[in-house]
Amino acid sequence: MSELKGAAIIGQSGGPSSVINASAYGAIRTALDCPSITKVYGAANGIKGVLDDKLYIMDEEDAHELELLKYTPSSALGSCRYKIADPDVDDTDYKRILEIFKKYNVRYFFYNGGNDSMDTCNKISKYMMKAGYECRIMGIPKTIDNDLFGTDHCPGFASAAKYIATSFMEVYHDAHVYDTGMVTIVECMGRHAGWLTAAAELANYAGAGPDLIYLPERDFDMDKFLADVTRIYNATGKCLVAVSEGIHYADGSFVSEAKTAATDGFGHAQLGGLAAMLANIVKEKTGAKVRGIELSLLQRCAAHCASLTDIEESFMSGKTAVEKAVEGITDKMVGFECDRTNGYVCKPKLFELTSVANYEKKVPQEWINAEGNGVTKGFVDYALPLVQGETKLPKENGLPRFAHLKKVVAK
Amino acid sequence: MSELKGAAIIGQSGGPSSVINASAYGAIRTALDCPSITKVYGAANGIKGVLDDKLYIMDEEDAHELELLKYTPSSALGSCRYKIADPDVDDTDYKRILEIFKKYNVRYFFYNGGNDSMDTCNKISKYMMKAGYECRIMGIPKTIDNDLFGTDHCPGFASAAKYIATSFMEVYHDAHVYDTGMVTIVECMGRHAGWLTAAAELANYAGAGPDLIYLPERDFDMDKFLADVTRIYNATGKCLVAVSEGIHYADGSFVSEAKTAATDGFGHAQLGGLAAMLANIVKEKTGAKVRGIELSLLQRCAAHCASLTDIEESFMSGKTAVEKAVEGITDKMVGFECDRTNGYVCKPKLFELTSVANYEKKVPQEWINAEGNGVTKGFVDYALPLVQGETKLPKENGLPRFAHLKKVVAK
């Protein structure tokens, strides 16, 4: 394919992760070094930065600060949750995007995000083709939820999994220190897919993990849950539980949203989330000392505990997106294909944007135990290679030294 | 002083910390290597292990596993919250302790814990003197709360402070990623002293910290708090707040325990703790998106983020306790004396057990700003040297490799 010369825009979207900037850096660095790419822009707050004509000039950034993006959590360019319209219904945004692309001679567009971002990518790509404007568009995946279709796993998942497993090991030690009884319930993110909660099982692999794990892939039964906890508590005096925020009853209603006596059985007002609610229910039922812990934002931004494997793969994903686009490929997402038969090998693989968007990948049923209160070795074999290696995040005064970007806005 | 030959017991008590085992290891290793000490026992669950005649033989442990205690969180020997009686009122426990000491020829007793543990140490020491039983008794301090009298700081505080500052920096990045408004309220431990919450200021020193900090050293005023948050939120669209679990109104009642409309102004049922409650109040007041985060147990057990300075000082404290006892000293706690005038120098210093026990050291008023919503440079100068250096915790399969003790019980 003939060389396409022009500028590139890189945008980030959706919820942050510890390594979304490692992907962005993979794309930015590679684009900056590429002769076909004349200028590299970062869109301020994702697609909104394009619509608002607010683009940061990446060429102006200090090379060392850019490199620190590999270890800096959250979206350095800013994120958005803006859902772009269907172009057949309303093409206002698309016309504006085309206008901006023309203004800056943008011929490469890289979008770094989850399901919705791949959908945005896909729609823009289709529109540009229809408009006859040559622009190569690639999706760079990101989501701690690990729920993107096709790819073996998603950049961001492994670092969150590593933080969760590490935290479970530490909480295990804390919760087992007294000779008195204690039930601890830890809530992990994952509204529809239980990948992050399942990661707690890695702590068991390392010898200090939860007794029970509940994922949204199985219907939750409060009576069964209370029986499980009571049985273990009565036998050992302790019980450590991992629950996904997305656990739901058979009728589909979220346990966290159960507000009435009829649904949650106790009629507690809900303030502190699922862990606090379950802790209260277990306390009333068993009389045990119970503590609810919500890992909250910490699990998606704990860059100090990121997986080096995740950082390097995220970088590779961004780098590959640029390389493939320059080679002439468009309309793809750079995911991963992994081989675990003899060690662990991860290679970039291109997926059709149309097949990725708007589909959520769940934890396979065969990786959940028969009782629905734990995960199997299959999951551990899958996830363990992903959490290997430690971040090289530099420290200053004992604290993280994250990237400081100048963010010079293009006129 | 003449040589005193005999066995040593080391016990741990109170809430765990990331480095309490580093202190225990300092004592255990030094005692094992000391010719005057004939045998080294670890008391199972603190003083209860002595009362129950459940002592682990430290001489039987693998040297490498023992060394891993430097990096293993929580109390490896087990802890207790058992409060020993006043010997003038009931000396049953003391008679039993003397009996066990005689049984194993225990001439050295080291107790590793917070305020209550120093009190226990003190009482046992006084009783043994009265009973004419020669036994040297030393306290080895521990408390993330940093509230022990006399010593410059407490082993355990710095690692918790480092984790808190690191987490604030990461949450700061996460909370600033969208171009939409967001208020984030993070609750830190500290019922009566605000040291841990003040540590959030270290994140500001590193450029990514909270806008507001509230400590229990000042009376909390809900109207003032809401005005502070609203002002910053209206000006910047964001507000990141650090609150101590122990903040209280002028009448002394804890904000976290306010249950009625009359006290918290909204009449919310309390389930999820202070952060969730304040988040709800701010949400109703400002209409902003608000998230409450409770750092919970994570801040006291996050050994993966421990301060090397803290680990080494903790070790030194345990080591010094044994060395001084063998030299003939008894009835003291090994705290720290620090000089920050020209770099940072920390030396062990002995404190009278009687002066340490049952007194809580607060954050000095001059380190809290006039508005009572932040801390000053004085605190940063004090705390920053303590969080320097990274743990050398080994990893296996990308996860912590904590110590595994055999815990052979003495017959």
Give the N- to C-terminal CA distance of chain B in Å, as an integer: 32
pLDDT at A183: 97
In chain A, CATH 3.40.50.460 sits at 158-300
- CB-nearest to B79 from A177, A388, A389 is A177
Please say whether the structural domain B157-300 has been given the CATH code 3.40.50.460: yes
Please say whether the structural domain A158-300 has been given the CATH code 3.40.50.460: yes
Contact B178 A294 (CB under 8 A): no
pLDDT at A258: 73
Query: Shortest Cα distance from B381 to chain A (angstroms)?
Result: 12
Distance CA B93, CA B78 (A): 19
CA atoms within 13 A on the CB side of B49: 27
pLDDT bucket at B128, cuts 50 / 70 / 90: very high
Residue-averaged pLDDT of chain A: 94
Contact B271 A291 (CB under 8 A): no
**Complex ipTM, two decimals?**
0.96
pLDDT at A1: 60
For residue B395, the chain A residues in CB contact (below 8 A) are: 390
**Pick among 3.40.1110.10, 3.40.50.450, 3.40.50.150, 3.30.530.20: CATH of A6-156+302-360+389-400:** 3.40.50.450
pLDDT at B259: 54
A272 to chain B: nearest residue by CA? B272
pLDDT bucket at A269, cuts 50 / 70 / 90: very low
Query: Shortest Cα distance from A368 to chain B (angstroms)?
Result: 22
A296 and B CB contact within 8 Å: yes
pLDDT tens, position by position, A134-188: 999 999 999 999 999 999 999 999 999 999 999 999 999 999 999 889 999 999 9
pLDDT at A263: 37
Rounded to the nearest 5°, which phi and psi values hold at B222? -60, -40
Q: How far is CA B36 from CA A72, A95, B41, B330, in A?
A: 52, 85, 14, 15
Nearest residue to B290 (alpha-carbon basis) of B359, B241, B363, B224: B241
Contact A271 B294 (CB under 8 A): no
B73 and A CB contact within 8 Å: yes
Distance CA B162, CA B376 (A): 18
pLDDT at B359: 79
pLDDT tens, position by position, A238-253: 999 999 999 999 999 9
Contact B166 A400 (CB under 8 A): yes
- The whole-number average pLDDT for the span A98-109 is 98
For residue A376, count CB atoms less than 10 angstroms from its CB and return exposed for 0-12, middle for 13-18, buried for 19 or more.
middle
pLDDT bucket at A14, cuts 50 / 70 / 90: confident
In chain B, CATH 3.40.50.450 sits at 6-143+302-359+389-400
Nearest residue to B334 (alpha-carbon basis) of B157, B141, B152, B143: B141
pLDDT at A54 over 80: yes
List all residues of chain B from 372 to 401 with a beta carbon under 8 Å from chain A.
Answer: 384, 387-390, 395-401
A247 forms beta bridges with none
Tokens of A49: 């930065």
Q: What percent of chain A has pLDDT over 70?
A: 96
pLDDT at A373 over 80: yes
B77 to chain A: nearest residue by CA? A177
Q: Which one of A116, A119, A145, A310 is the catalytic residue?
A: A145
Residue type, A325: A
In chain A, CATH 3.40.50.450 sits at 6-156+302-360+389-400
Q: Are A80 and A46 in contact (CB under 8 A)?
A: yes
Residue-averaged pLDDT of chain B: 94
pLDDT tens, position by position, A213-245: 999 999 999 999 999 999 999 999 999 999 999
Query: Shortest Cα distance from B329 to chain A (angstroms)?
Result: 30
List all residues of chain B from 178 to 207 with a beta carbon under 8 Å from chain A.
Answer: 178-180, 184, 202-203, 205-207
Contact B387 A399 (CB under 8 A): yes
Q: For an interface test with B, give the residue of A297, A377, A382 to mutate (most B CBs within 10 A).
A: A297
What distance lies between CA A400 and its chain's CA centroid?
A: 21
pLDDT bucket at A259, cuts 50 / 70 / 90: low
- CATH numeric code, B6-143+302-359+389-400: 3.40.50.450
Contact A273 B276 (CB under 8 A): yes
Which H/E stretch holds residue A26? helix A20-32
In chain B, CATH 3.40.50.460 sits at 157-300
pLDDT bucket at A272, cuts 50 / 70 / 90: low
Helices (H), B69-156: 92-103, 115-131
The count of other CB atoms within 10 Å of the CB of residue B64 is 8
Distance CA A41, CA A106 (A): 9
For residue A394, the chain B residues in CB contact (below 8 A) are: none
Query: Shortest Cα distance from A303 to chain B (angstroms)?
Result: 7
pLDDT at B257: 86
Rounded to the nearest 5°, which phi and psi values hold at B336? -125, 145
Contact B297 A292 (CB under 8 A): no
Q: For an interface test with A, give the residue of B12, B47, B142, B170 to mutate (most A CBs within 10 A).
A: B170
pLDDT bucket at B1, cuts 50 / 70 / 90: low
B42 and A CB contact within 8 Å: no
Strand, helix or coil at A108? strand
DSSP sequence for A210-241: -SEEE-TTS---HHHHHHHHHHHHHHHSEEEE
pLDDT tens, position by position, B261-308: 333 344 444 445 899 999 999 999 989 999 999 999 999 999 999 999
